Amino acid sequence: MKISIIGAGNVGTSIAFAAMIKGLADEIVLVDVNEELAKGHAIDLSHGNPYVKPVKIYGGGYPLSEGSNIVIITAGRTQKTGESRLHLIGDNAKLMKHIVQETLSFSKAPLLLIVSNPVDVLTWVAWKESGLPKYRVIGSGTTLDTARLRQNISRHCHLDPRSIHAYVIGEHGDSEIVSWSTANIGGVLLGEFCDNCVNNCQGKDVLKKIYEETKNAAYQIIKKKGSTYFGIGLAVSKILEAVINDSHSVLTVSTIHEEFEGIKEVPFSVPSVIGRNGLERVLPLNLSLEEQEGLKKSALTIRSVIDTISIGGG
């Protein structure tokens, strides 16, 4: 299994590090416009080989990515303090087109995993530019948001976050929503769990606080340290595991929905089954009317940005 990561910044190298520790690939290639940086990271990572399942690690330009099974795209201008992910679209859409063109000149039909922000819109750009089937182009979507949500719930409830089943859906961004109607802990719906909570919490106020903390987490991290990368590195490694091990895992990745509520070809995240070929199927969600409206609003937000992009230009 050969994985190439386009972009050897903090996010790309965090993904490489997580994939290496988990022993997910035979080869990992770091590609960056700064080839010396990519080479340096590759050498540094390779020095950990005696402590993990050995993997060949290279760094440099696009030719090294030839014959990749999976290509992960992380390159792009990073989000600045006070800036939404959607503000990045002008610069990063143009860059995404170029990356996809370069990638496909060396790898015939890899699975494309988009991590660059705004991830939903750029997943659409990558799909249009690549000509690959929808199920072979997926974005990291709200996998990280969902992890943040579960961590925030676990901290409040004093529970193992792996015992919490709750999802952030829609855009990976400010219009995202939480599917509170389906959230459960050990099979107990969250509403029922809260009614019997030992913390004597005020249900709706607590849920609103948890939602805001989840939605604004990236802004807080960017304010404190400049960028986020450890969490997304682990989230993407989980997607890689699902693909490489063909584990049919349920993850909130961003995929192209052919039509949703009359909205054509819009990518957003809902719980989806991921396996060897990418997207296998999207699971139905029993949402409340309010959540349905929130998800539609989120999809429209993404679609409105897509409508500003000219895919044919350079």
Active site residues: 172
Q: Is 10 annotated as a binding residue?
A: yes
Q: Please tell me whether 69 is known to bind a ligand.
A: no
121 is in an annotated binding site: no
Residue 62 is assigned to a ligand binding site: yes
Q: Is 165 annotated as a binding residue?
A: yes
Q: Residue 116 annotated as binding?
A: yes
Task: State yes or no: 9 annotated in a binding site.
Answer: yes
Q: Is 255 annotated as ligand-binding?
A: no
Task: Answer yes or no: is 314 a known binding residue.
Answer: no
Is 77 a known ligand-binding residue?
Answer: no
Q: DSSP secondary structure string, the chain?
A: -EEEEE--SHHHHHHHHHHHHTT--SEEEEE-SSHHHHHHHHHHHHTTGGGSS--EEEEESGGGGTT-SEEEE--SPPPPTT--GGGGHHHHHHHHHHHHHHHHTT-SSPEEEE-SSSHHHHHHHHHHHH---GGGEEE-TTHHHHHHHHHHHHHHHT--GGGEE--EEB-SSTT-EE-TTT-EETTEEHHHHHHT-TT---HHHHHHHHHHHHHTHHHHHHHHHS---HHHHHHHHHHHHHHHTT--EEE--EEEEEEETTEEEEEEE--EEEETTEEEEEPP----HHHHHHHHHHHHHHHHHHTT--TT--
Residues annotated within the binding site for beta-D-fructose 1,6-bisphosphate are 150, 165
Residues annotated within the binding site are 7-12, 32, 62, 79, 85, 92, 115-120, 140, 145-148, 150, 165, 228
Residues annotated within the binding site for NAD(+) are 7-12, 32, 62, 92, 115-117, 140
Residues annotated within the binding site for substrate are 79, 85, 117-120, 145-148, 228
